[in-house]
Amino acid sequence: MDISTIAGLISGIVFIVVSIMMNGRLGLFFDAPSVMITIGGTFASVLISYPLNKFFNSLKSARLIFQTKEFNTGNVIQRIIDLANIARKEGLLALEEAAQSMEDKFLQKGILLIVDGTDPELVRNILETELAFIEGRHKEVQGFWETVASLGPAWGMIGTLIGLINMLDQLNDPSAIGPAMAVALVTTFYGSIVANFFANPVANKLKIRSSEEVLLKEVMIEGLLSIQAGENPRIIEEKLKAFLSPTLRDTVKENNEGETKAGE
Amino acid sequence: MDISTIAGLISGIVFIVVSIMMNGRLGLFFDAPSVMITIGGTFASVLISYPLNKFFNSLKSARLIFQTKEFNTGNVIQRIIDLANIARKEGLLALEEAAQSMEDKFLQKGILLIVDGTDPELVRNILETELAFIEGRHKEVQGFWETVASLGPAWGMIGTLIGLINMLDQLNDPSAIGPAMAVALVTTFYGSIVANFFANPVANKLKIRSSEEVLLKEVMIEGLLSIQAGENPRIIEEKLKAFLSPTLRDTVKENNEGETKAGE
Amino acid sequence: MDISTIAGLISGIVFIVVSIMMNGRLGLFFDAPSVMITIGGTFASVLISYPLNKFFNSLKSARLIFQTKEFNTGNVIQRIIDLANIARKEGLLALEEAAQSMEDKFLQKGILLIVDGTDPELVRNILETELAFIEGRHKEVQGFWETVASLGPAWGMIGTLIGLINMLDQLNDPSAIGPAMAVALVTTFYGSIVANFFANPVANKLKIRSSEEVLLKEVMIEGLLSIQAGENPRIIEEKLKAFLSPTLRDTVKENNEGETKAGE
Amino acid sequence: MDISTIAGLISGIVFIVVSIMMNGRLGLFFDAPSVMITIGGTFASVLISYPLNKFFNSLKSARLIFQTKEFNTGNVIQRIIDLANIARKEGLLALEEAAQSMEDKFLQKGILLIVDGTDPELVRNILETELAFIEGRHKEVQGFWETVASLGPAWGMIGTLIGLINMLDQLNDPSAIGPAMAVALVTTFYGSIVANFFANPVANKLKIRSSEEVLLKEVMIEGLLSIQAGENPRIIEEKLKAFLSPTLRDTVKENNEGETKAGE
Amino acid sequence: MDISTIAGLISGIVFIVVSIMMNGRLGLFFDAPSVMITIGGTFASVLISYPLNKFFNSLKSARLIFQTKEFNTGNVIQRIIDLANIARKEGLLALEEAAQSMEDKFLQKGILLIVDGTDPELVRNILETELAFIEGRHKEVQGFWETVASLGPAWGMIGTLIGLINMLDQLNDPSAIGPAMAVALVTTFYGSIVANFFANPVANKLKIRSSEEVLLKEVMIEGLLSIQAGENPRIIEEKLKAFLSPTLRDTVKENNEGETKAGE
């Protein structure tokens, strides 16, 4: 459960609602036709922009902002050092068993390639191609939400223009001008909320999640190739810890002290 | 037939029309002079921006957003593994026959280069240059629609300025102000529709179609070079599947189980 | 003569004039002080932005949008295949005579370098450096017009601010407000025209012309190095045609059928 | 203590306060609900955009704009030349003692790697990976403040829209329009202050601090590898001084005159 | 003396002043509090953005837009060919004397490195690192003025918001509205002038000056390495002239005809 997403969504909604109710009435800001033209128009444009399967995949991706990743880089480094120790003591083939119980498909695939005796250059090639495509698919989903974030305010403005043009055309009753303009502006309000309270923050959190996953997989690739090259586990640890921030680095060090010494 | 394009266009038009008709009259939003200055002006600027042949080619490209690609990456990988099996069993020359019945010109050209015994480095060079230029031409067409998307609102604003200046100059009749401003704003409305409901979504869908085609051709190049190098079809499959998303990957695996085993 | 430039300029002017005259008077849109502050101010800022020689060179470059290039890629490929055939039959030195009658300075220089027996690496180095600088100079000129396109609307707004501030300061006569605001908005109108009907389209057409010329010269470099390496004219043709779009490719093929066969 | 940050913050606040008090009353610009919607909304969106740990780390980073770096490039170059002299006179192992008293963790780690006899390629690899991740973490923090800078004005506009819509809906009392609009605009004012007086300048100063630290560490990497390669201290000095601006370069020269001569 | 800078500044000021005086009074546009909030606020934010030394260095850099560079690429190429001839006739050591009288520090340093018999790879490394840092420092200064250009209009808008909010709060006297709004808009006017008439053009001219200097130094590096490699002066000339535009190229050719022939 991603606490910051929940906290941000709830506090943002509270701020908006309280802010509206201090000087006005909430009902004014719920307007079905305004929802239709802003949200409906935005998704009509997004539908033209994306094929149906990418459209639904990207929509579904929004739920990822509520999830936290199970794995962290420190654990992965620890796991790789364990594997390196196994490989040094019992040989590369002993890794096959360890791979069976592995929940991470990427790491598992890498180990199986090593166990198969695949050429190191080809192992790197296969894993890096796969990582590049994972990153590409992540970028596509982020791009989807950035498209939503740019189309939302645009359709908000289209809604406001429709409201304004209708109002200006019927300018005979001065007392109706205010409320009509108020309604016309509601779509601009919606468009701005869609972009700044939803689509852009979603794109941003997905981007950070993606960079964390890519970093993790880069650590895996470096580690796997070092294991295949038969490098000393202590050197592997030193190499992989360069991927960590200094604070995280110390936690790994403490856990490993015993094992890596034994594995030398 | 691309369903998302059709669904997006129809739903968007419905949303706009319903939104207008709830508080106003549709006729107000059809204004021939406004069409002329916004659409006409936009295309006048686009004509100055592009040579005539690129102008018409790019305009024609808009129809691509209604089409779905026939080929998918899974099929192409399957096809390449079949070719690899033929090459291993019957030699590279046996591919010439297979190339005859191939509908994809790029793959066909690659096979013929291999059959001719062209140097692998030159094969890669020729195919990658061709791919780079295909991508370049795609980018040019996307750029065309992005230019339209930036000029549309600009000419919408020029139309509104003309309307406003004319109205402000004749400010003697207060009752005429509203309707005159309404008409002046219609061009801004058109410009925003051109950019956000048409040109930008078209550019985006063309970009996605292009990236799918480029990916497909990258798979072809990798596969052709692996065939030429005489690699094991199972390794080729492993390499090419790194280009696929995990969900697509499994479908290929199932289809191949029998054949690739036989081809080893 | 570039037809699209002429057609764009004429149709754009017609659209603007007709659009103005339908509801207003053309004279209102010709205002000498507004021209002075928008166009004058823009060029004052551009003068500070660029040294005098680049300023005049870039201004002069605007006339290029009326010209069409004489050469096309197909012709250049044909020419290079002819040269390759000469080189194969009569030796590299025989190219010197062919170079004399060559109107393209870049191709001529390349041939003379080859005839002189310059090291292939150095030939590529000299020609690519020269191409990089040609591209750099083109980018500089495009940058000039993009600068004009961003300064035009800015000075249009400065003009409108001057008009608005003056008007607001003298708000005693209500009937003068409208016409004064109309005049104030004319500079915004000018700024938008400068950017969207002139400077941006000019920058765009120059960019396309430049990319065509760069492509042409890349073809020349590839071709010249292949000739120097003594490659088979048929292979050279295959390599160079990767630079062409499929439609253009077929026209080259037909013309060459006879000659290249003979040249093998 | 970073004087420019203090001077900028104080002078900016003085300018704003004086500017307000010359024609109005300061109280008008303190409005709790406006603070809530602008600042609260901005941070709600930022919370959705970032995981909790990055959110707090980035917030804390703002205090760095008040600190000045202790180290400067000149000192580091001097320090490295000293180390090079020690290494030449007493051997690489003599550096271990010097490393103990080193306060910079990065330089210390590098020296220990050298003393351990690690392969030069691996030393460069480990240190450059670490530097790349330091730079990555800095970029992330700058990105946080740039996100704040783009969300601030957006939520300022959302606040103003809420105020405008409420006001337009209750347009019965003309005398209330002015003050209501004044309050509505206060959120736009806040949003602009957040972006232009705080978040963007913070992001910019962090960027400059980061580039200085990265430069420093690049100098360290170059220097450490030169020491490991056993290069002449005078050559090392020449190489490292290329990283300095000409004015700083002279100060290093003077300090070194004696020592480097002796160290040759 | 850079004529275009002077001409641009003077003509721009004349255009603004004449434009104001045609319909209003110049005094209205001089408003001390408006200067304070726009210019003062901008520099307060810039002070937070940059450390004090970079702040003053960048401010001082503005005077460079009035200077023209003494050196031109043609001269430098001529100078390098002269040095190549000396080196060929009298040996590399003979360059030391020529270096003494050299006013360009970069060229001088390069020659001294060559004379010292430094390894060519190290010469290139030192000179390219130095060039990269020169370019980096230039970019930083351009970034300073681009920051000013983005903060100017932002603080102009902050000033206008302060004026508007104060005015709207005191909406009792209708006759005061106009003049108050006029004054409020003066800060927007200032902000636009700061960005479009000063900061952006300064950044642009500094960018062009920088690219000229970098080109010059790239020519020097290429030339120095060719001299060190003992290349034929005619080949050096051919290589370096690829850096020149065709028009400049001919002028070098004429000057050299005699000397280079003699130097072969």
* Interface touch E165/D235, C-beta < 8 Å: no
> Looking at chain D, which subunits does it touch, using at least 3 CB pairs closer than 8 Å as the criterion?
A, E
What is the number of other CB atoms lying within 10 angstroms of the CB of residue B86? 18
Question: CB-hemisphere CA count at 13 Å for E41?
Answer: 37
Residue D147 falls within a domain, yes or no? yes
B207: distance to nearest CA of chain A, Å?
Answer: 9
Residue C64 falls within a domain, yes or no? no
A18 and A89 belong to one structural domain? no
For the cut 60, the answer to whether the pLDDT of residue B206 exceeds it is: yes
Residue E48, helix vs strand vs coil: helix
- Lowest-confidence segment of B113-122, B181-190, B200-209, D43-52 by average pLDDT: B113-122
- For residue E31, the chain D residues in CB contact (below 8 A) are none
For the cut 70, the answer to whether the pLDDT of residue E253 exceeds it is: no
Residue D249 falls within a domain, yes or no? yes
Pairwise CA distance, residues C31 & A221, whole Å: 68
Q: Write down the ipTM of this complex.
A: 0.87
pLDDT of C255:
52
* Interface touch D205/E51, C-beta < 8 Å: yes
- Is the minimum CB–CB distance between A235 and chain D shorter than 8 Å? yes
* Confidence band of A180 (pLDDT split at 50, 70, 90): confident
* Cα A176 from chain centre: 46
E237 and E126 belong to one structural domain? yes
Residue A66 falls within a domain, yes or no? no
Closest CA relative to residue D40, chosen from A168, C78, A16, A136: A16
pLDDT by residue (tens digit) across E138-166? 999 999 999 999 999 999 999 999 999 99
Pairwise CA distance, residues E171 & C43, whole Å: 41
Pairwise CA distance, residues D103 & D106, whole Å: 9
Name residue B66's amino acid: F
- For residue C204, the chain B residues in CB contact (below 8 A) are 48-50, 147
A19 and A81 belong to one structural domain? no
Q: Find the residue in C nearest to B143 (Cα).
A: C204
* Confidence band of B40 (pLDDT split at 50, 70, 90): very high
- Is the minimum CB–CB distance between C54 and chain E shorter than 8 Å? yes
Nearest to D20 among E45, E48, E162 (CB): E162
Nearest to E189 among C48, C165, C169 (CB): C165
Pairwise CA distance, residues E81 & D63, whole Å: 55
- Lowest-confidence segment of A49-53, C83-87, E169-173 by average pLDDT: E169-173
* Confidence band of C264 (pLDDT split at 50, 70, 90): very low
* Interface touch B171/C185, C-beta < 8 Å: no
C137 and C13 belong to one structural domain? no
A234: distance to nearest CA of chain B, Å?
Answer: 31
Pairwise CA distance, residues A107 & C4, whole Å: 57
For the cut 80, the answer to whether the pLDDT of residue C253 exceeds it is: no
Q: Is D146 within 8 Å of D199 (Cβ atoms)?
A: yes
Residue C127 falls within a domain, yes or no? yes
Residue E65 falls within a domain, yes or no? no
* Interface touch E41/D5, C-beta < 8 Å: no
3-state SS, chain C, equals CCHHHHHHHHHHHHHHHHHHHHHCCHHHHCCHHHHHHHHHHHHHHHHHHCCHHHHHHHHHHHHHHHCCCCCCHHHHHHHHHHHHHHHHHHCHHHHHHHHHCCCCHHHHHHHHHHHCCCCHHHHHHHHHHHHHHHHHHHHHHHHHHHHHHHHHHHHHHHHHHHHHHHHHHCCCCHHHHHHHHHHHHHHHHHHHHHHHHHHHHHHHHHHHHHHHHHHHHHHHHHHHHHHHCCCCHHHHHHHHHCCCCHHHHHHHHHHHHHHHHHHC
* Cα C250 from chain centre: 27
Pairwise CA distance, residues A210 & C256, whole Å: 52
pLDDT of E94:
85
Q: Is B223 within 8 Å of B115 (Cβ atoms)?
A: no
Nearest to E48 among D28, D65, D246 (CB): D65
B154 and B188 belong to one structural domain? yes
* Confidence band of A254 (pLDDT split at 50, 70, 90): low
- For residue D118, the chain A residues in CB contact (below 8 A) are 235
Pairwise CA distance, residues A27 & A46, whole Å: 29
* Confidence band of B15 (pLDDT split at 50, 70, 90): very high
- Is the minimum CB–CB distance between A248 and chain D shorter than 8 Å? no
With pLDDT > 70 as the criterion, what percentage of chain A qualifies? 92
Total count of domains within chain B? 2
B188 and B84 belong to one structural domain? yes
For the cut 80, the answer to whether the pLDDT of residue A173 exceeds it is: no
D43 and D21 belong to one structural domain? no
* Cα C119 from chain centre: 33
Backbone angles phi, psi at D31, to 5 degrees: -140, 110
Q: Considering only residues C177 and C59, tell me which one the structure prediction assigns the higher pLDDT.
A: C59
Say which DSSP state E94 is in.
Answer: G
Residue E167 falls within a domain, yes or no? yes
* Confidence band of A159 (pLDDT split at 50, 70, 90): very high
> Looking at chain A, which subunits does it touch, using at least 3 CB pairs closer than 8 Å as the criterion?
B, D
With pLDDT > 90 as the criterion, what percentage of chain D qualifies? 44
For the cut 70, the answer to whether the pLDDT of residue A252 exceeds it is: no
- Lowest-confidence segment of B172-186, C47-61, E245-259 by average pLDDT: E245-259
- Lowest-confidence segment of B118-122, C241-245, D18-22, D189-193 by average pLDDT: C241-245
Q: Is B206 within 8 Å of B141 (Cβ atoms)?
A: yes
Q: Under 8 Å CB-to-CB from C174, ≥6 apart: which residues?
A: none
Q: Indicate the angle between helix axes C200-228 and B120-169, nearest 10 degrees.
A: 170
A122 and A194 belong to one structural domain? yes
Classify each residue of E147-181 as buried b or exposed e, where b means 16 or more C-beta atoms within 10 Å of its C-beta.
bbbbbbbbbbbbbbbbbbbbbbbbbeeeeebbbbb
For the cut 90, the answer to whether the pLDDT of residue B91 exceeds it is: no
E13 and E43 belong to one structural domain? no
For the cut 60, the answer to whether the pLDDT of residue C259 exceeds it is: no
Q: Under 8 Å CB-to-CB from E209, ≥6 apart: which residues?
A: E64, E65, E69
Pairwise CA distance, residues A36 & A16, whole Å: 20
Question: In which domain, by residue range, is A12 found?
Answer: 1-30
pLDDT of C165:
92
Q: What is the pTM of this model?
A: 0.90
pLDDT by residue (tens digit) across E37-63? 999 999 999 999 999 989 999 999 988
Token pair recorded at residue B11 = 């739903």
E221 and E257 belong to one structural domain? yes
Question: CB-hemisphere CA count at 13 Å for B204?
Answer: 28
Mean pLDDT of D169-187: 84
Residue E123 falls within a domain, yes or no? yes
Mean pLDDT of C163-172: 86
CA atoms E79, E81, E82, E86: torsion sign: positive
C48 and C179 belong to one structural domain? yes
A38 and A21 belong to one structural domain? no
Q: Is C256 within 8 Å of C78 (Cβ atoms)?
A: yes
Pairwise CA distance, residues D240 & E105, whole Å: 17
Q: Is E179 within 8 Å of C171 (Cβ atoms)?
A: yes
pLDDT by residue (tens digit) across D2-38? 899 999 999 999 999 999 998 888 988 998 999 999 9
Does E have 3 or more CB contacts under 8 Å with A? Answer: no
- For residue A18, the chain D residues in CB contact (below 8 A) are 33, 36
Interface of D with E in 60-99 (CB under 8 A): 65, 68
Backbone angles phi, psi at D229, to 5 degrees: -75, -5
For the cut 50, the answer to whether the pLDDT of residue D263 exceeds it is: no
pLDDT of C96:
86
